[in-house]
Amino acid sequence: MDQMSKSLKPWALVTGAGGFIGHHLVSYLRANGYRVRGVDIKLPEYCSTDADEFLLLDLRELRNCQTCTARMDLVYHLAADMGGIGYITASHAGIAYNNSLMNLYMLEASRRNDVGRFLFSSSACVYPHGLQISPDVTPLREEDAFPAQPEEGYGLEKLYAEKLCQYYMEDYGLYTRVVRFHNVYGPLGTYDGGREKAPAAMCRKVACAQSPGAIEVWGDGRQTRSFMYIDDCVEGIHRIMRSDYRNPLNLGTDELVSVDELAEIVIEVSGKKIALVHDLTKPQGVRGRNSDNTRLRSVLRWEPQITLRKGIIPTYSWIAAQTENATPGATVAAE
């Protein structure tokens, strides 16, 4: 038995606990009997944390990583400098610098503090561009990450950190788990300011638009993605951490939709009459991206269950409430 299974009520550290997925994960773990320490450079933006402890620390410093990992049984490392396609295509150096430091120092601090298990949050951006050039994309399998041609900056540093997890497990015996997220959305996520992902941006645009009216979409709208609701995400993270599988795993749905189809779902939920205006000059990311869940189903005997249409309902409701007094603004992109 490892350290996790020996503890009746283990301590779990969630980095990035001031962010979207981290905040929800803290609440999920607390509800499932864990004591939780959250850490971030900022507090949660939209509501208070459920963490037993919350530390405001900059994880680009090793001493801070050693402080927050002390006496932890589990480390869920979600902290990252990231955002939608507009942000990650314009910030290669900053993203690579910030995330590389955090990932390396968190692994090293976890090793020094004898953490039981370490989960790293990676991304579908690690997959090669050459496999994502068609909207009718073949679902991406975990082994497709090599030969490597990841997203510049963000995808490259994620792939490097995945290998670091492998090396720390092989050389030092640190139990590591790697999860590759595919487009997570839901309430309490960033919805404006440039770092929002496509579902949140789409919900904001529709909520702020007049009816009848129009919203702008980056690209021709035919680029495709799959999107995973936050409740499925945090359950999947927990299941992967507890599993015996040591290699990277996709975590997403295989419900492939175009960006225009995403927009139409949001518009339908809103009850408004909205037209789409496409801007072909803006970044739109890879042409198609979808998750192959074959290995996830085999390892966990589970996969995300919440359809996009079902997940958009609470997401749109929350964002519409946040933007009640706002006016039409920025554009919509897709990761």
**pLDDT score recorded for residue 331:** 43
- Tell whether the model's pLDDT for residue 58 goes beyond 50: yes
DSSP states of 144-181: GG-S--PPTTHHHHHHHHHHHHHHHHHHH--EEEEEEE
Q: From CA 93, how far away is CA 236, in angstroms rounded?
A: 31
154 is catalytic: yes
Q: Would you say 79 and 107 are in contact if contact means Cβ atoms under 8 Å apart? A: no
- Give the model confidence (pLDDT) of 307-322 as tens digits: 999 999 999 999 999 9
Q: List beta partners, residue 213.
A: 274
- Amino acid identity at 205: K
- Render pLDDT for 87-96 as a digit per residue (tens, 0 to 9): 999 999 999 9
- Across residues 175-189, what is the average pLDDT? 98
CATH number of 11-184+228-251: 3.40.50.720
The span from the CA of 237 to the CA of 20, in Å, is: 14
Rounded distance between C-alpha atoms, residue 331 and residue 84, angstroms: 11
pLDDT at 284: 85
Stretch 61-78: mean pLDDT, rounded?
Answer: 98
- The CA radius of gyration of the chain, in Å to the nearest whole number, is 19
Please, are residues 123 and 158 in contact by the beta-carbon 8 Å criterion? Answer: yes
Please say if the pLDDT value at position 5 is more than 50: no
**CA 217/CA 196 separation, integer angstroms:** 14
Instruction: Report the pLDDT averaged over residues 108-122.
Output: 98
**Catalytic site residue from 34, 87, 127, 154:** 154
CATH 3.40.50.970, applies to 186-226+255-291+305-322? no
The region of weakest confidence among 85-94, 238-247, 286-295, 326-335 is: 326-335
**Domain boundaries in the chain?**
11-184+228-251, 186-226+255-291+305-322
pLDDT at 247 over 60: yes
